[in-house]
């Protein structure tokens, strides 16, 4: 029997994108549901739903102020039940925290607030960020899909007002000890981080914590900030902020390779910084720069991450990396490249092509299990390399999801997280090891371990 696609449009209903991703995951887990998504009915979101095979005629008529509930079900009764229950899955709002429907209302409730988190469809994010900056607030733009020229204009405006604009597409920050979006519970300390990568910031901050140090602030700038067209406006502003912060002693900068002119500009600025700096431009091999996220954390703390005894065995076949974190995926690929190894495959399952109409794999790691089963069945694959990312906003038991289906191939994993995260790192590590997974102390270690098994 062919699958059935059902949509319901809730007129004038709004929920932020993080809440919608969580609700989508819970809806997709209901019996008889093959796929599900809850999205605001903007033109770009309807394209995503259409591409994911989740858009029906009713959803086509949704407007930018409407919420589309979309399911693909094995039969009509399962689909109807899921659609009917969708908004009942929404967690009840806590009465501890004030709520408001507008920025003005929020400022009335919290007149001393100095940071706004923008989590709306990308079509509207720039306008909301401009309102926040106009009200004298720093802004973290979680939303993606903001045009590059808008990003540059917003960051120029923020600089003129002496404010920080983090993002767009900024998924992680640690501000004065407070985790924002997908971040981890790490102790306060004197190491400030500026990062164009969400999972890069998570990995480095967690490694710093595990080496006994702490983070003053972790400032995300968005993945495009070091593009030639943006010119590191967010990065340079963040460096200025950390240099003037009395609680920051060391500045750590994390990014994939920036545009050459932008790289020189940033390095020149750091050379003039009154505070010691550590730079990791993943993929840019230059003397004095950290080559891995692990090395960046070690240089910042002055300590070595405690090594664990890595099991040695020889396995035939190639390595297949299946990652939730894009920067972690890139780092693993770079480790193999530096070792002169080729013919291996690394997949970033958080890329847009895999998440259209679905929650990000950090929220719903179930997406990886389908690819895991395919890799395990491939006789050419000998080792499967994965990341397990903990923290606020992430799945409550990603290790449990990973190991629920038995995989006969060798699995090598790293776990990004701390003991104070909701998932508790030691419990997640134990769950993986009990299932026979080889767990390395960092993502770079995991890649090196996987490489040693097949070379």
Task: With a cut of 60, say whether residue 96 has pLDDT above it.
Answer: no
Domain assignment present for residue 309? The answer is no
294 shares its domain with 372: no
In this structure, what CATH number is given to the domain that contains residue 404?
Answer: 3.40.50.261
The domain of 409 spans 318-454
Task: With a cut of 60, say whether residue 41 has pLDDT above it.
Answer: yes
Q: What's the pLDDT tens digit per position in 236-279?
A: 999 999 999 999 999 999 998 899 999 999 999 999 999 999 99
359 shares its domain with 439: yes
Which residues share a beta bridge with 218?
174, 193
Q: What is the mean pLDDT of the chain?
A: 92
- 142-156, 359-373, 402-416 — which is least confidently predicted? 359-373
Domain assignment present for residue 329? The answer is yes
**Mean pLDDT, residues 375-403:** 95
Task: With a cut of 70, say whether residue 4 has pLDDT above it.
Answer: yes
Predicted TM-score (pTM) of the model is: 0.85
129 shares its domain with 246: yes
pLDDT of residue 91: 54
Diameter of the chain measured on Cα atoms: 68
270 shares its domain with 333: no
Task: With a cut of 60, say whether residue 393 has pLDDT above it.
Answer: yes
35 shares its domain with 159: no
115 shares its domain with 78: no
107 shares its domain with 237: yes
Whose tokens are 């371990």? That residue is 449
pLDDT of residue 1: 58
347 shares its domain with 438: yes
- 338, 451 Cβ separation under 8 angstroms: no
For the chain, the straight-line distance linking the first and the last C-alpha, in angstroms and rounded, comes to 47
161 shares its domain with 19: no
pLDDT of residue 101: 79
Domain assignment present for residue 276? The answer is yes
Q: Could you tell me the pLDDT band of residue 97, with boundaries at 50, 70 and 90?
A: low
280 shares its domain with 403: no
CA distance 235 to 193: 10
Domain assignment present for residue 26? The answer is yes
Domain assignment present for residue 310? The answer is no
In this structure, what CATH number is given to the domain that contains residue 32?
Answer: 3.30.1360
338 shares its domain with 292: no
Domain assignment present for residue 141? The answer is yes
- 187, 214 Cβ separation under 8 angstroms: yes
Task: With a cut of 70, say whether residue 93 has pLDDT above it.
Answer: no
Task: With a cut of 80, say whether residue 16 has pLDDT above it.
Answer: no
pLDDT of residue 94: 45
pLDDT of residue 123: 84
147 shares its domain with 292: yes
Q: What's the pLDDT tens digit per position in 186-228?
A: 999 999 999 999 999 999 999 999 999 999 999 999 999 999 9
**Mean pLDDT, residues 147-176:** 96
């Amino acid at each position: 029997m062919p699958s059935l696609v059902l949509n319901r449009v809730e007129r004038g209903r709004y929920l932020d994108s993080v809440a919608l991703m969580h609700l989508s995951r819970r809806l997709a887990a209901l019996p008889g549901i093959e796929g599900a998504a809850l999205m605001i009915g903007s033109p770009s979101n309807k394209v995503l739903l259409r591409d994911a095979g989740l858009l029906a005629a009713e959803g086509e008529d949704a407007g930018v102020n409407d919420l589309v509930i979309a399911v693909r079900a094995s039969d009509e009764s399962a689909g109807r039940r899921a659609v009917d229950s969708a908004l009942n899955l929404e967690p009840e709002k806590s009465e501890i925290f004030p709520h408001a429907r507008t920025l003005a209302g929020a400022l009335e409730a919290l007149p001393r607030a100095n940071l706004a988190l923008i989590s709306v469809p990308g079509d509207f994010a720039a306008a909301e960020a401009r309102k926040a900056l106009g009200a004298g607030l720093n802004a973290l733009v979680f939303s993606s899909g903001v045009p590059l020229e808008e990003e540059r204009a917003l960051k120029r405006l923020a600089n003129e007002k002496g404010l920080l604009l983090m993002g767009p597409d900024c998924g992680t920050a640690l501000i004065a000890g407070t985790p924002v979006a997908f971040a981890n519970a790490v102790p306060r300390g004197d190491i400030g981080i500026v990062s164009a990568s969400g999972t890069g910031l998570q990995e480095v901050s967690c490694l710093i914590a595990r080496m006994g140090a702490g983070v003053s602030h972790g400032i995300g700038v968005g993945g495009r900030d070091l593009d030639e067209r943006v010119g590191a406006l967010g990065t340079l502003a963040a460096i200025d902020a950390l240099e003037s912060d009395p609680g920051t002693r060391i500045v750590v900068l994390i990014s994939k390779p920036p545009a050459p002119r932008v790289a020189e500009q940033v390095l020149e600025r750091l050379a003039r910084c009154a505070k010691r700096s550590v730079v990791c431009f993943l993929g840019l091999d230059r003397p004095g720069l950290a080559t891995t996220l692990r090395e960046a954390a070690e240089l910042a703390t002055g300590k070595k991450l405690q090594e664990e005894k890595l099991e040695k065995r020889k396995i035939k076949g190639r390595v297949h990396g299946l990652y939730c974190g894009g920067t972690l995926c890139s780092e693993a690929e770079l480790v193999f490249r530096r070792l002169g190894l080729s013919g291996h495959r690394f997949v970033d399952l958080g890329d847009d092509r895999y998440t259209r109409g679905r929650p990000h794999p950090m929220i719903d790691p179930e997406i990886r299990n389908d690819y895991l089963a395919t890799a395990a069945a491939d006789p050419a694959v000998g080792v499967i390399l994965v990341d397990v990312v903990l923290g606020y906003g992430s799945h409550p038991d990603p290790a449990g999801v990973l190991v629920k289906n038995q995989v006969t191939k060798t699995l090598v994993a790293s776990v990004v997280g701390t003991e104070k995260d909701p998932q508790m790192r030691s419990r997640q590590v134990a769950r993986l090891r009990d299932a026979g997974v080889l767990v390395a102390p960092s993502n770079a270690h995991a890649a090196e371990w996987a490489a040693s098994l097949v070379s």
